[in-house]
Each structure stands twice: as structure tokens, then as C-alpha cells.
Chain A
């Protein structure tokens, strides 16, 4: 068992819990999310998952962006938490925010926004790269699985 702690920002906490699991806890702003993404890149390199490095980092970014923008509504007193588990040919990740959640059943990830729309693609990106994804009932936790072969659109 291996355990270690890395602190990318003074206000962030990160730990590799057992060598295959990364946990980060940070305040809700983009600078802290950037630090989390750096840790995820490093973590994926450690676990030799280059085939899904881009897709995993992209999905992490989209989940964190949603947590900051829509979940915690840019309130830096609220936190975002990220768990990443590396498996042999897949990554499972969970992002949780302190917000009220949202009614995810109302959102269709199958439909992309119009091509002049400047926002609203976050879930579509996640759906494109995830083998599977789901929200908790409240809508403040998303769990995503990314495989080494591009998966089908996720269940919600």
C-alpha cells in the first residue's frame, strides 16, 4: 500500500490513497481545478494510461467546470472533490460539489446546442468520451467511467 500527499495549492488537499486512487479536495475556483487537472495528468502517467489521458483530462475538466459554474455557482467557500481510480484499461472518476444539484433528467446530452451557441456542450463532451456516466439523485455528484476504447453514450 502506498500513500502520499501532494498540495498543488495551499487551499487544496490531494492524496493518492492506495496508489491506484487519487483524491483531491479544493475550493471552488478555476485555479484550484487547474491544480487538480495537473495531478490527474501525473496520476495517469504513473499508471501508464496514455490512450485515455486526453479524454480523461477533458472529462475531468468538464465535470469540474460544471461543478464550479453550475453546482457551486462560483462560490469559493464551497468545495469540489474529485476521486479518480485507475484500472488496467479504464479510469473511473467521481466529481462532487456542494451545490443544490440539478434536475439532470431534463437535460438531453444526445442533442448538441446549435452551432452558433457558445455554451452548453459540457455534458455532450462527457457523453462523447464516457463509456458510462451517471448522476446521483440530487445531481451534485457525477460518476464517469472512461475505457481505453471509446464507449457508447452513457446511461443516466
Chain B
């Protein structure tokens, strides 16, 4: 499965779009890109999971690590547009509130 990611910045806000699987094999590369990105002042970083088909515990770890780093700089992370399956996974891990996961119509 091919995974693509994109980082878009507007002043102090950043959006990360992940297409494909946010899983162990892609985490090091995305983590490094994010590390560089949030060296800039970042009030809010949004993970748009509209096209994310799979999330595993390594991907969850990346979301939490990014949230931790942002919190140290008074920034906040949000997760938007998860599929029903990804939302349920985050709910089972008790992370919906922690990661500011926005339920959308995709949850059904």
C-alpha cells in the first residue's frame, strides 16, 4: 500500500493530510517531516485522515508524540475526518478527547 502525506502551512497553522496507511513503515519519515515543521511556531496542527485507510499503534504513537510536542509550545493537535473504523479504534484506545478527534458524517 502506498502512503502519501502532505503538509500545508498557513501562518501558524499546519495541516497534515495522509493518504493510505499511517502505520509503522511510514512513521519515521513522517515523524522527521513533522519534527522540522513544528520547529516553526505552530498554534494548531490538524491531521486530516479523510483518505487514511489504516492506523496502527505506531500511527497512534505518532499522533500522541506530535500532540505532546505541540503542548510544550502551547499548540494543539486535532484529528479530523477519520473513517468509522479509525474513529472506533481511537475510541477503544480512549483517545477521542485526548487527540481532539472531530466526529464527522463519515462516522455514520
Contacts of B56 in A (CB 8 A): 58, 61-62, 65, 125
Identity of the chain B residue whose Cβ is nearest the Cβ of A37 in the assembled complex: B1
Majority SS of interface residues in chain B?
helix
Identity of the chain A residue whose Cβ is nearest the Cβ of B66 in the assembled complex: A118
- A65 engages B58 (CB within 8 Å): yes
Contacts of B62 in A (CB 8 A): 118
Contacts of B58 in A (CB 8 A): 65
Identity of the chain A residue whose Cβ is nearest the Cβ of B92 in the assembled complex: A128
> How distant is the Cα of A30 from the Cα of B26 in the complex, in angstroms?
9
**For the side of the interface on B, what is the size category?**
20 to 34
- B25 engages A30 (CB within 8 Å): yes
**For the side of the interface on A, what is the size category?**
20 to 34
Please tell me if B68 contacts chain A, counting CB pairs below 8 Å: yes
Please tell me if B34 contacts chain A, counting CB pairs below 8 Å: no
> How distant is the Cα of A38 from the Cα of B96 in the complex, in angstroms?
28
> How distant is the Cα of A122 from the Cα of B1 in the complex, in angstroms?
21
Contacts of A121 in B (CB 8 A): 57, 60-61, 93
Q: Assuming the A-B contacts A30-B25, A62-B57, A65-B57, are A125 and B1 also in contact, with contact meaning beta carbons closer than 8 angstroms in the complex?
A: no
Majority SS of interface residues in chain A?
helix
Q: Say how far A72's CB is from chain B's closest CB, in angstroms.
A: 14
Contacts of A30 in B (CB 8 A): 24-25
> How distant is the Cα of A124 from the Cα of B54 in the complex, in angstroms?
17
- B25 engages A116 (CB within 8 Å): no
Please tell me if B7 contacts chain A, counting CB pairs below 8 Å: no
> How distant is the Cα of A57 from the Cα of B94 in the complex, in angstroms?
21
| A-B contacts, 20 listed (Cβ < 8 Å) | A30-B24, A30-B25, A33-B25, A34-B23, A37-B1, A58-B54, A61-B24, A62-B56, A62-B57, A65-B24, A112-B93, A115-B98, A116-B68, A118-B62, A118-B64, A121-B60, A121-B93, A124-B57, A125-B56, A125-B93
Question: Which chain A residues have a beta carbon within 8 Å of chain B's beta carbons?
Answer: 30-31, 33-34, 37-38, 54-55, 57-58, 61-62, 65, 112, 115-119, 121-122, 124-125, 128
